Amino acid sequence: MTQPILEVNDLKKHFPIRGGLFGQTTGQVYAVDGVSFSIAKGETLSLVGESGCGKSTVGKAILRLLPVTSGQVVLDGQRIDDMSAGKLRALRRSVQVVFQDPFSSLNPRMKVRDVIAEPIINFGLATTRAAIDERIALLMDKVRLPRDAVNRWPHEFSGGQRQRIGIARALAAEPDLIICDEAVSALDVSVKAQIVNLLQDLQKELGLALLFISHDLAIVEHMTHRVAVMYLGKIVEMATRREIFANPKHPYTIALLSAVPVPDPGRVRDRIILKGDVPSPSNPPKGCRFHTRCPMVFDRCRVEEPELKPTTGTHMAACHLHDSHRQVDAAAMTLASSANARQAVAAT
């Protein structure tokens, strides 16, 4: 892998819970609890997991929209998690974000021209009106929108077009890294594919790194280089796209993948239904955080937290099964889930 553009080391973001008469701290929400990864120039890393697993909080912490509790965020060799606001301003340009809802992220009182011109002016990338307009016209070409659309208002566009405007605005700052926070989740299937194709083309053309935060594994499968799976504030598995989708190692990943639709109608995938809800991040289970829902759970899981460590090559998983050389695959999981279900029925 080439020199990382972004390194995140043991990142933690805890939110205090305030209560009582005087608003004292009564606990913590462990939203992100020791997350480490890196992204190279021109690479896409997808951060996936169920809603509430902490993936969007990781994105916000990298963007410094939230102060971090501990850990390091290193951007292009410089630590930014503790950088002063003044110094950070110069680096802000190199990380941009595209949010899920393009309508709320675009100022409805600004025409498209002004929306895209703002970062160009703020970062001093062009100063004359003609130079700014030229940049905006090129950006409209890049996101495949007509140049004359710059004179319209955000509400005049469809969801997909608004997301293209959001991408043009992000590109206007000439970033090295774009964080796409559920950037295609609110779009129709065909529009989703168009925006993903656009992001991939822009990545190839501009050498952009992408942190793609999503709960949609079907989309991730088509566009990522590597995947990091999060559960309850921690990364539980990280590997290349091919490894994650062909040979998942963690029971949680196996269960998530079992719910992804298979394009071939002749192939049937056994859906693994996880029992119970995701535990509260203010009171994560002891031992393995996934043990309350894991069909493969055994005694050690309830007392000892598994480390994220290599299983084969660069494939990493946090699961004791890989130390005990037990079989971890979809077939074993399906058998274990059915055995658990039978036990539950027998107990009633």
- Contact residues for ligand SF4 (CB under 6 A)? 250-251, 288, 290-291, 294, 296-297, 301, 306, 319-321
CA dihedral 68→69→72→76, nearest 10 degrees, is: 10
Which is nearer to ligand SF4, 135 or 322 (by Cβ)? 322
Is residue 136 a contact partner of residue 122, using CB atoms and an 8 Å limit? Answer: no
Cα 33–chain centre separation: 15
Shortest Å distance, C-beta 316 to ligand SF4:
13
- Tokens 């319209």 locate to 152
CB of 250 to ligand SF4, least distance (A): 6
Q: Which of 45, 74, 53 has its CA nearest to residue 62? A: 74
Residue closer to ligand SF4 by CB (options 81, 237) is: 237
Q: Is the CB of 14 or the CB of 293 nearer to ligand SF4?
A: 293
CA separation for the pair 145, 141 (Å, rounded) = 6
If the CB atoms of residues 42 and 279 are measured against ligand SF4, the closer one turns out to be: 279
- Least distance in Å: CB of 315 to ligand SF4? 15
Q: How far is the CB of 311 from ligand SF4 (least distance, A)?
A: 12
Closest to ligand SF4 by CB, 48 or 288: 288
- Could you tell me the sign of the dihedral formed by the alpha carbons of 213, 214, 215, 217, in that order? negative
Nearest approach, Cβ of residue 48 and ligand SF4 (Å):
16
The residue among 42 and 285 lying less far from ligand SF4, judged by its C-beta, is 285
Cβ–Cβ < 8 Å for 258, 330:
yes
Find the shortest distance in angstroms from Cβ 293 to ligand SF4. Answer: 8
- The helix (H) or strand (E) run that includes residue 234 is strand 234-240
Which residue type does 234 have? K
* Residue that is written with structure tokens 């088509």 in the block: 222
